[in-house]
Structure 1
Amino acid sequence: MKNNIISSIRLTIVMLILFSGAYTLIVWASSQLTTSHGNGDVIYFKGKKFYSNLGQKFTNDRYFNSRPSAVEYNAASSAGSNKGPSNPAYLASVQARIDTFIAHNPKIKKSEIPSDLVTASGSGLDPHISVTSALIQINRISKVRGISENALTTLISKQTEKPMAGLFGPERIHVLKLNIELDKMQ
């Protein structure tokens, strides 16, 4: 019994040093290798500061809509809704998002709306949408801004991020960066 207690105490001390010291140091050191040195990617535009790794709320018809957030884009409470796909409250919120999208994009059918425009991500802070989600909004933005649909398609193409290392994940669009470039066009 005494040997088990002593071994447990030793293991606890080793794990405490390893996970509160060494692991923390490794994570900090690897963050220093990034371009932002672990401080997050900051974008300044028109005197405002934005963190590009956090989703931003865009609902104005002049902009590409962002992915919905279950936490209202509050980085302090990153989380999904934790409601299952059959939960009535969840289904009601998705239906409300669908109705809102169709009201602002009347030429789009319900079946054509990409899921990432009406469902929140797991973190509630995803700054990206699919390329399809950007393309489906072109007609609305073209009418509101008076920019040709071809110019908007070209903008989306330029802002499309390829999969990581060409292998991992789908192509995607960073909504904040896309909307900043959209503002620069005018």
Structure 2
Amino acid sequence: MEEKQSMIGPIIRMTLVLMTFCGLVYPVAVTGIAQAAAPHKADGSLIYDENDKVIGSELIGQTFTEEGYFHGRVSSIEYNGAGSGSNNYAPSNEDMLNRTKESIIEWKKNNPETKISDVPNDLLTNSGSGLDPHISPKAAYVQLDRVSEATGINKAELEKLIEKHVQGRELGLFGEERVNVLKLNLDIKNMMKQ
């Protein structure tokens, strides 16, 4: 019994030291380093409008349904950044098949001039997180006709705009080329103002 009581003091002290270090010192230090090294990223990669109002993040997608804008991936969580994830359905799952069929119907309605066989999978499927703000360059190019017709911006200008927004692989090795839909659409909005 006496031996157990002698252990209580060191256990409490070690718990307090670890709580202070792991719960206070370490998070403050990491936040400070992140703010000093990459403040834009540390603050969530936020995008502001001309009035300094936050309109989104480079890291979380948004739903664009207007014909004059490029559309992003399907998101079963409506791009709600409070929680990420999508249903991990197998390709044979009935719910997955129905949702994909609905995406195809929606695509055909908005883009009647494009054959469904030309539509990249990333326009018809969720990303793993349901928050992905990017589409493939091919997914952007396949939307050219609709966006050009709705905005009056000729296809050659839109192609240059897409090329401007193509981001390469990380470190030249990891991931795929991608286009941030929000940034692309902001440029389109600015072009339409002119």
State the TM-score, normalizing by the size of structure 1: 0.84
Does structure 2 conserve the Cα–Cα contact (< 8 Å) formed by 1:68 and 1:119? yes
Alignment of 1:1-186 (within 5 A): 13=15, 20=23, 24-25=27-28, 27-32=30-35, 33-36=37-40, 38-45=42-49, 47=51, 48-52=53-57, 53-186=59-192
Provide the C-alpha distance between the structure 2 equivalents of 1:19 and 1:86, rounded to a whole number of angstroms: 45
Offset of residue 24 of structure 1: 3.5
Deviation track 1:82-101 (CA, whole Å, cap 9, x = no partner) reads: 32222111111111011111
**Aligned residue pairs, count:** 185
Offset of residue 64 of structure 1: 0.1
Offset of residue 60 of structure 1: 1.1
Provide the C-alpha distance between the structure 2 equivalents of 1:173 and 1:37, rounded to a whole number of angstroms: 18
Offset of residue 37 of structure 1: 5.7
State the TM-score, normalizing by the size of structure 2: 0.81
Provide the C-alpha distance between the structure 2 equivalents of 1:37 and 1:132, rounded to a whole number of angstroms: 27
Provide the C-alpha distance between the structure 2 equivalents of 1:26 and 1:129, rounded to a whole number of angstroms: 35
The amino acid that maps onto 1:117 is L
Percent identical pairs in the alignment equals 39
Provide the C-alpha distance between the structure 2 equivalents of 1:46 and 1:86, rounded to a whole number of angstroms: 47
Provide the C-alpha distance between the structure 1 equivalents of 2:18 and 2:116, rounded to a whole number of angstroms: 53
Provide the C-alpha distance between the structure 1 equivalents of 2:175 and 2:32, rounded to a whole number of angstroms: 26
Secondary structure of the corresponding residue to residue 43 of structure 1: strand
Question: Gaps spanning 5+ residues in structure 1: where?
Answer: none
Bigger mean CA offset, 83-92 vs 146-155: 83-92
- RMSD over aligned CA atoms reads 2.8
Question: Gaps spanning 5+ residues in structure 2: where?
Answer: none
